[in-house]
Structure 1
Amino acid sequence: MIQQGTKTFRNISLALFAGGFVTFALLYSLQPLMPEISNAFSITPAHASLTLSVTTIAMALTMLFIGSLSDSVGRRFIMTAALVISSVIALLSAFSPGYTELLLLRILQGVALAGLPAIAMTYLSEEIEPRSLGYAMGLYISGNSIGGMAGRFISGVVTDWFSWRAAVGFIGILGLCAAVIFWLVIPPSRHFVKAAPGFKNPIPLLWSQCRNPRLLCLYGLGFLLMGGFVTLFNYIGFELTGGPYHLSQSIVGSLFVVYLMGTVSSTWMGRLADRYGRSHVLGIALGIILAGAVCTVHPALWVKIIGLALFAFGFFGGHSITSSWVGLVANQHKSQANALYLFFYYLGSSVSGTGGGLLYSHLGWIGIVGMIGVYVLIGFVLCNLLVHRLKGQAT
């Protein structure tokens, strides 16, 4: 098993950092552009949010099956193909003639994108020794956070200079560059045992993971964490481009620099969890998420920005802990266990991201924060249940 500090560990970290970067940049590049898309196609905020929701639900469903495909084809090939194909689809999306065509391309992009996050967690759990896994997972997730921040920031700036279509195309080119880096750096799997060729029905194995109550708690936490995160950042653009703030797309995009807080928290909280216990550090992350959401209610812009930073810090730290926990709780078939975690994780993004639009339309920003508050409370309950179910195991 690969240990922290070795050259191979650094190569894996760099490759998956680049992969996580481009995955989240492609996935969330349209998020700050939803007001522009709403105006361009004369649709409601809830309909505009579907440009993200359909991508994440397609991604979530594909993740249930692509892990089994990688068992026979290989981890490295699937992850690289996912990055290349999804980047090409981004370029095509820049020329979509209408809203329906854009949704169809985003669905296809979700299917393609599934290849990296569904397998990256399994790849890490197979190759990295357990004592270094939390840190390695944190580095991978920090790539996610920087990619999400960069995708949103770049798309906002390019939109102000040119158009939202130019922004989407530019992100696609960036994705192709990152895919090349990934292919050149990622080491071949050393502990991967290739299965017999052919597709095997993963449903029985997936169902067996659902009978594990500890995993169900982690799946629920993934749903809640991502659901709250996406909902907050889906609609903050509508809140800040409207009155009384009237911020430009460039400024709104620049606010996503708060994702850098996730780069810090994912690795730092991953290390704390390895040292002091995952349940304790996860509870702290949930508290930070709630504090950040409450801060965004304040009318002062600087308080809202602090709230966004706190929220990002807590979210990425919490996700780092729960995602690495899945591989430790799953006794066997870790690939399917990780796929199910990501399915619920992105299902939370789709359901809450669009459902939050209905709350926003009827209740305004307080409806968004109220929903997140309920999610955090349920998260505390699941965390306590998880600890109770883990007697005799590291928590």
Structure 2
Amino acid sequence: MPKDPATRLQWLVFALVSAVFTTVYIPQPVLPVLRQTFGVGEGAASMTVSAVVLGIAVANLPFGALADRLPIRPILLTGGLVVSAAGVASALAPTLPLLVAARFLQGLFVPALTTCLAAYLAREMPAERLNVVMGSYVSATVVGGLSGRLLGGFVLPPAHWRWAFLVAAGLLLVATLAAHAGLPRERHDEIRGAETVRFRDVLFRHDLFRLYCVSAGAFFVFSSVFNYMPFYLHGAPFHWSTRAVTLLYLSYLVGVVAGPLAGRLSNRVGNGTAMVVGALTFGAGLAVTLVPRGWAMAVALALICAGFFTLHASAAGALNRKLSAGRGRANAFYVLFYYLGGAAGITLSGHAYHLAGWHGVVALAAGVLLVPLSTGVVEMRLAQRDGSATRSSAARAR
């Protein structure tokens, strides 16, 4: 573990968030095995994934409120212990209903580790470090998502999916205990000062609502691309195999690098400029997908991932730098909009694909990208105006 406190905290955050998202995505590659094991249909087996998402949706706002009222380290510890224990229960579940119930319980307490951790970082980190640490947080979601899929369907044989749950539960328990021991204690005066903030106070603030929309819009496009790209590549002129399409998902790894780099870019040029760069990079990736060549698909997905994770990291950093109170509630809304945007993207892009194929998906995605792009422009102008006002005040003072 690094000796520098800021770097050490960054690694603690990375380990905890990675472990959480590893747990979330374990069943995805072994759904056919679960279907066969329990003798159920595809929809019933898929509930092992959707139950977690449902739990997150139900519990996200309540945990956001708790994060504004109570010390967060005990909430993190409780959440980690419950999610780990439910992971063990998932491994031992003799029936599918018990497995789904255990997964739903995990989803209910995931926000204790994600939304509450983001609120803790915003509360405790100095402004100059916040963008970088939030970038690591975003990168950790990528590593966790990949790790869960690889652990469940590649590192361990798919038939041994129960062991995958046990391994993930052990990793999460270790990461939780390390984070609880290593994260600095909070300043209680700030906790008390946040108690008067209400959900509507952070939902209807225009400067925050714009960033919620960036979260929704970015994931709208990202989820659309990765859900309908396989259909595009299976057809003419590509005719790729499932294995070849799956390899392209390794482009997610671009997000591991893009997250922290986006944080440093935001510190250097401002969150608004970083959002504009991310949106333009994202759009360039979409355009390259229209080139009917295999190499172009690899380049396109790398650009799409770099753009998405730059947008995500800069928007999360901008959100938390604007807050002096209500961080838990604001981060809860950010995550809620994120998932709502993803769900809307999958649904609406399905209609676009049916009507106009991949070109329809790209056209819809390009239109939605105007939301984060325009928000970035607005943030840039506000930063320039604030900078000019500060310089004018300093000149008058002299």
TM-score, reference length from structure 2: 0.79
The residue aligned with 1:313 is 306
Picking from 224, 244, 247, the partner of 2:242 is 247
Picking from 264, 276, 287, the partner of 2:280 is 287
Cα deviation, residue 390, structure 1? 6.1
| Separation in 2, partners of 1:368, 1:100 | 36
| Separation in 2, partners of 1:182, 1:35 | 35
The residue aligned with 1:16 is 13
Q: Which amino acid is the alignment partner of residue 115 of structure 1?
A: A
| Separation in 1, partners of 2:205, 2:270 | 21
1:32–1:234 Cα contact (<8 Å) kept = no
Alpha-carbon deviations, 1:180-228, whole Å to 9, x = none?
Answer: 43334333224664449xxx8x9x7110122211111101001112233
> Residues 371 and 91 from structure 1, CA distance in 2 versus in 1: closer, same or farther, beyond 3 angstroms?
farther
Alpha-carbon deviations, 1:144-198, whole Å to 9, x = none?
Answer: 22222222333331476536565455434433343343334333224664449xx
Q: Which amino acid is the alignment partner of residue 108 of structure 2?
A: V
> Residues 132 and 355 from structure 1, CA distance in 2 versus in 1: closer, same or farther, beyond 3 angstroms?
same
> Residues 165 and 213 from structure 1, CA distance in 2 versus in 1: closer, same or farther, beyond 3 angstroms?
same
Q: Which amino acid is the alignment partner of residue 293 of structure 1?
A: L
Cα deviation, residue 257, structure 1? 3.4
**Do structure 1's residue 277 and structure 2's residue 270 form an aligned pair?**
yes
Q: Over aligned residue pairs, what C-alpha RMSD do you find?
A: 3.7
> Residues 332 and 184 from structure 1, CA distance in 2 versus in 1: closer, same or farther, beyond 3 angstroms?
closer
Where in structure 2 are the equivalents of 1:343-354 lying within 5 Å? 343-353=336-346
**Do structure 1's residue 174 and structure 2's residue 171 form an aligned pair?**
yes
Q: Which amino acid is the alignment partner of residue 125 of structure 2?
A: I
1:262–1:312 Cα contact (<8 Å) kept = yes
| Separation in 1, partners of 2:338, 2:292 | 31
TM-score, reference length from structure 1: 0.80
**Do structure 1's residue 186 and structure 2's residue 179 form an aligned pair?**
no
Aligned length: 382
**Do structure 1's residue 267 and structure 2's residue 260 form an aligned pair?**
yes
Where in structure 2 are the equivalents of 1:1-395 lying within 5 Å? 7-32=4-29, 41-43=40-42, 52=49, 55-94=52-91, 104-158=101-155, 162=159, 167-190=164-187, 193-195=190-192, 205-234=198-227, 236=229, 244-248=239-243, 255-296=248-289, 300-353=293-346, 356=349, 365-366=358-359, 368-387=361-380, 392-393=385-386
> Residues 260 and 320 from structure 1, CA distance in 2 versus in 1: closer, same or farther, beyond 3 angstroms?
same
Give 1 or 2: higher helix fraction.
Answer: 2
Cα deviation, residue 17, structure 1? 0.9
2:266–2:314 Cα contact (<8 Å) kept = yes
Q: Which amino acid is the alignment partner of residue 10 of structure 2?
A: S
Cα deviation, residue 266, structure 1? 1.3
Q: Which runs of 5+ in 1 are unaligned?
A: none
Q: Higher mean Cα deviation, 32-41 or 56-65?
A: 32-41
Q: Which amino acid is the alignment partner of residue 268 of structure 2?
A: R
1:49–1:234 Cα contact (<8 Å) kept = no
Bigger radius of gyration among the two: 2
Cα deviation, residue 279, structure 1? 1.4
1:54–1:350 Cα contact (<8 Å) kept = no
Counterpart secondary structure, 1:393: helix
Cα deviation, residue 321, structure 1? 0.5
> Residues 347 and 52 from structure 1, CA distance in 2 versus in 1: closer, same or farther, beyond 3 angstroms?
farther
Q: Which amino acid is the alignment partner of residue 301 of structure 2?
A: L
Cα deviation, residue 393, structure 1? 3.4
Work out the percentage of aligned pairs sharing the same amino acid. 26
1:57–1:110 Cα contact (<8 Å) kept = yes
Cα deviation, residue 115, structure 1? 0.9
| Separation in 1, partners of 2:378, 2:290 | 31
Q: Which amino acid is the alignment partner of residue 255 of structure 2?
A: G
> Residues 335 and 258 from structure 1, CA distance in 2 versus in 1: closer, same or farther, beyond 3 angstroms?
same
Counterpart secondary structure, 1:330: coil
> Residues 152 and 312 from structure 1, CA distance in 2 versus in 1: closer, same or farther, beyond 3 angstroms?
farther
> Residues 310 and 6 from structure 1, CA distance in 2 versus in 1: closer, same or farther, beyond 3 angstroms?
same
> Residues 276 and 194 from structure 1, CA distance in 2 versus in 1: closer, same or farther, beyond 3 angstroms?
closer
2:273–2:377 Cα contact (<8 Å) kept = no
Q: Which amino acid is the alignment partner of residue 120 of structure 2?
A: Y
1:214–1:390 Cα contact (<8 Å) kept = no
Q: Which runs of 5+ in 2 are unaligned?
A: 389-398
